[in-house]
Amino acid sequence: MLDTAKETYQTAGEPFLDEPKMRVRNADVFYADKQAIFDVNIDIGKNEVISMIGPSGCGKSTFLRCLNRMNDTIDICRVTGELFLEDQDIYDRSIDVVELRARVGMVFQKPNPFPKSIYENVAYGARIHGLTDTKVELDELIEKSLHRCGLWNEVKDRLEEPATGLSGGQQQRLCIARAIAVNPEVILMDEPCSALDPIATATVEELIHELSENFTICIVTHSMQQAARVSSRTAYFHLGKLIEVNDTSKVFTNPEHQLTEEYITGRIG
């Protein structure tokens, strides 16, 4: 698996779309000498919710983190291949990672609000990217972002209180509000509900559904039911390979690939 011939892999289903938001071609990811992702080809459509499922260690999170270059923070991680956001190669030298991450936001597994006030949390992105000029504009942006995440009524009276005082589900929605305050085009979600109880999970899922009107959302999830509920397309990863991409309804009733079938029916984990 070293630098002999470059391995190619044919993904089952329909990985390609017309007019995609993001395009990934022949993406390989290495951690030092170990290859984590093998020749992934996929399109991510505009304003679609696409979920990435697969057993632990299958590379789905690694792949997700390629999409906004979060893997850059790991020294030994190397990404090859072509990854486009619309027409821009996001691994191009001329691309500024900071700008990229403003366009491709991210929500993490564990709710990770900053240890600051609720207000400051949502304001942070706007501040560092200089999105607003006046305090009034900023206030408006924050209210709007919190509204969209259904948090406004819950927190409007305590914007100055620490964000860490919110419940887990509220914290995660705050993190989503923080991400959308920058108005990104794509939001990456890395198992956003794995630390939440079922009710909070349902709230976040509902939010994802509403956000899909305006944002492209890529969600990595361990819960197949969640993938089935929230996404319109589903990608199945197995041992670093993208096995199948199909409409979610197809994947969950009649997957094309044997491995997909085995995974979603609970035969491999």
Under the rule (CB under 8 A), what is the footprint of other proteins? 68, 70, 73, 75, 97-102, 105-108, 110, 112-116, 124-125, 128-129, 162, 164, 175, 178-179, 182, 224-225, 228, 251-255, 260-262, 264-269
| Nearest distance in Å: CB 167, other proteins | 16
Cα–Cα dist 251/248, whole Å: 5
Structure tokens at 201: 């999970």
Cα–Cα dist 175/94, whole Å: 29
| Nearest distance in Å: CB 146, other proteins | 16
Nearest residue (CB) to other proteins, 112 versus 132: 112
Nearest residue (CB) to other proteins, 41 versus 216: 216
Q: Which of 98, 64, 62 is closest to 184 using CA atoms?
A: 98
Counting every residue written for the chain, the total comes to: 269
| Nearest distance in Å: CB 181, other proteins | 9
| Nearest distance in Å: CB 264, other proteins | 4
Nearest residue (CB) to other proteins, 59 versus 125: 125
Phi–psi pair at 32, nearest 5 degrees: 55, -120
Nearest residue (CB) to other proteins, 42 versus 179: 179
Nearest residue (CB) to other proteins, 1 versus 98: 98
Nearest residue (CB) to other proteins, 20 versus 105: 105
| Nearest distance in Å: CB 117, other proteins | 9
| Nearest distance in Å: CB 100, other proteins | 8
